[in-house]
Structure formats: C-alpha cells, structure tokens
Amino acid sequence: MRTPMGGGRWPQAVLDRLGAEGPGADRFRRGTAGALVAVAALLFGWILVLGSTTRGQAEVRNWSVVWIGLDVLQVTGLIATGLLLARRSRLAALAAAASATLLFLDAWFDVMTAEGGGAWYLALAMALLVELPASLALAALSRSAMDW
C-alpha cells in the first residue's frame, strides 16, 4: 500500500526527509521546526491558564493509578534500554533518553507532591541520590549510543 509520504512507512519517510539534504528538505525541516515552536507557544499559554486557575490545588482521581503507571513506564524503559544495550543497538539511545526523562519527571513529582517534613526530605534525598543521578547516567548512555 502506498503511503502519503511516498515509499515505505510514513514515519520513516518523514524521518528520512528531515535528515535529507537539499532545498526541499531544508524547507520541510524549517516548517517542522516552526510547527514545534508553535505547539510550544500554545502549551506555554495553557501553562499560564493552569497556573492562574489551579492556585496550587488540584483534586486528582485515580492518583495511585497515575503513580503506578509512571513506575510501570520506568520499568518498561529500563528493560528496553537494557535489552537494546545488550544487543549494542543504536535504538538504546531512544530508550535511554525516554527512561532518563521518566526518572527526571518521577523525581520532580515526588518532591513537588510530597507532604512537608520527613516525607519531603525523603523524596528530596531519593531524587538527589537515586533518580537524578540515574537520569543523568541514562542521558549520557543515550548520547553515547547515538555514536555506535
């Protein structure tokens, strides 16, 4: 079946076009970059709306499911990174980058949602001693794996 972007699967065709050389590829790359900046601007506006309306309080349904889901994503990312690393696959770069991001987010949310006192200090200690160093190590692995 022929895809709108030409031969092959459309995600690969888009990635190939983003990495191509020539004036047409440059226009496509600039257009894609412009679209990403426009989405970021819209998201920034949404952040301002949320910041002015939530006033530091939010009622969350299924809070435990959210935390479990984040942890499941971290486990999945770490397993994928480990398996791809064992194969010395360049795809380990993507898995490691995603895992690094998830660990960073986990540290952020742990610290920012912890109750005061001992719970906050424990969350901060876990962030500084475990989650952030692991995130940095995975980011370094991601960068290194891109050169394989």
Q: Which pLDDT belongs to residue 7?
A: 55
Q: Which pLDDT belongs to residue 2?
A: 44
Q: Which pLDDT belongs to residue 86?
A: 92
Tokens representing residue 57 in the block: 């309080």
* Range in 2-6, 11-15, 49-53, 118-122 with the lowest mean pLDDT: 2-6
Cα 35 to chain center, whole Å?
A: 19
- Give DSSP secondary structure letters for 106-139: HHHHHHHHS-TTHHHHHHHHHIIIIIHHHHHHHH
Distance CA 98, CA 5 (A): 27
